[in-house]
Amino acid sequence: MKRIHYVTVLLVTLALTVNGLALAAEYVIEGKPFDFGQEFDFGGATVTFIGHYDKLAYDEAASLADKMGGVPPERIKEAEEKFNCKIQSIVVPANEAQQVRLARLLSGESAWDVWVGVSTPAFEELAGQQVFFPISDIVPQEYWDSMPAPHRAICKTLDYKGKIYGFGTASAALINTSLISYNKTMFEREGLPDPYELYKNGEWTWEAFRDIAVQATRDLDGDGTIDVYGIAAIAGHDGLGRLAYSNNACFADFDEEGRLVFMLDSPEGLEAFRFWKELVDLKVIAFGGENLTQFINGQAAMDLGFMLWHLLYPYQDMQDEIGLVPVPMGPSADDYVFAPRDGEGFVLPANSENPLGLIALVNFMWPPERFNDLYFDTVFMDMSPSREVYEVLKRSHAEWDGTHYRVWVHVARNGLWDAMGKVEHEGMAPAAALEEVKPRIQAAIDELYRQ
């Protein structure tokens, strides 16, 4: 992204503050204190925050967005005194986190654990084995109501058979947002329609997305090889997932009897599958590469695989200006859908010694009111290269209701990848390809959910 001089940043920030206050009335993100009605004494126990990153780490010199998830040392000390405990963090490799959690649970070491950064797929893998403590069994509705909207939504992604297992506020609300980034400099240079203007006018649809992707895909030197693609590379199931959810479809959902069933073969899902195949046939997707590299290097005009952390790090190396929009509306949707692939948050082990007390401790260390509307405004301003990017970020968090790619890992591994391969390489119709793999996918879901 273009680097802007300090005076310009100050003026833009002031402008965003004015506009941000106006937007806040429309897109509200607000947390408030919650009274647990009692004090907690842990008797000197050591509370361990364990995950694949250090949730307690705090760097005063870091950006606002980077500091958002950490805890200042003085707050940790205050928490230790208030709850009569010691607080420590244990970091384990991401690929070993599940095994470490299970080992600590089986040995009894996890009684005072808070498990950090548990993703929806990791949670789903173990939820049916009574590994986690059901938070919704012990907290009232007022607890959920006290949370900022995106953190409440994250907790809803960590649910199993009607019970919620996630809790607390976590910076992961800022990571998994499902949006599309585009190279605004390239769009202006090539005279392409501005997706943001289409979005604001309610005209950012699949058709507009496809047409722009076709226009942006070019052979610059006439050698017969495409040099710039309309869309950067993206894993098939993720690209299809983003399109499906933007069309009010899903990988799986609960039926009237409470059974989780495969749903991508719904009319809306099949529309998405056919549209994905159309994009593949048009050769506008840069398969065979890495989406971030392609987008940053100007080899792709749009990135369907955008995630929020791209604004913090890799995009800082871009010379071109970027824009941001929701995934375009499908023909069966009447508004934009904000549906991250998954969430990531705090959970407690099933043998938790004092679950309500640990929930209160987390609330003290990461107060919900800290993530109020103004704080989110400040962080989004810190991350955003323009007012337009800021507005889209704010809306995507305020309007996310917890919808996510439920059991997407199991759907993909147990048949969807095979179906997509047959559609792409063998010319099989999407409906026929899904019909062939549906029994296998449903069996995997049934086993996972013990249904």
Report pLDDT digits (tens) over 119-173. Answer: 888 999 999 899 999 999 999 999 999 998 888 888 888 999 889 999 998 655 5
**Overall CATH class of domain 6-174+343-398:** alpha beta
Smallest Cα–Cα separation from 217: which of 302, 101, 339, 109?
A: 302
Which residues, other chains included, contact 117 with Cβ-Cβ below 8 Å and sequence gap of 6+?
A: 51, 52, 53, 55, 97, 172, 344, 345
Q: At which residue do the structure tokens 């100007």 appear?
A: 298
Q: Does position 389 have pLDDT exceeding 60, yes or no?
A: yes
Assess whether the region 6-174+343-398 and the region 179-340+405-449 belong to the same CATH fold: yes
Tokens of 297: 């290097």
Average pLDDT, the chain: 87
Element (H, E) at 230: strand 229-231
Domain positions in the chain are: 6-174+343-398, 179-340+405-449
- What pTM value is reported for the model? 0.86
Residue among 403, 404, 407 at smallest CA distance from 447: 407
Amino acid at 343: G
**Measured between alpha carbons, how far is 257 from 103 in angstroms, rounded to an integer?**
35
pLDDT tens digit sequence for 268-327: 999 999 999 999 999 999 987 778 889 999 999 999 888 777 887 788 878 899 999 999
In the CATH hierarchy, which top-level class contains the domain 179-340+405-449?
Answer: alpha beta
Residue 160 in tokens? 């199993």
Please give the average per-residue pLDDT across 355-376, as a whole number: 87
**Minimum mean pLDDT range among 105-109, 326-330, 346-350, 378-382:** 378-382
Q: Which helix H or strand E contains 31, and what residues bound it? A: none
Residues 203-240: tens digit of each pLDDT: 999 999 999 999 999 999 889 899 999 999 887 788 89
Listing DSSP states for 280-348 in one string gives HHTT-B-TTS-HHHHHHTTSEEEEEEE-THHHHTGGGG-SS-EEEEEPPBPTT-SS-----S--EEEE-
Enter the tokens of residue 92: 């384990």
How far is Cα 41 from Cα 80, in angstroms, rounded to an integer?
Answer: 10
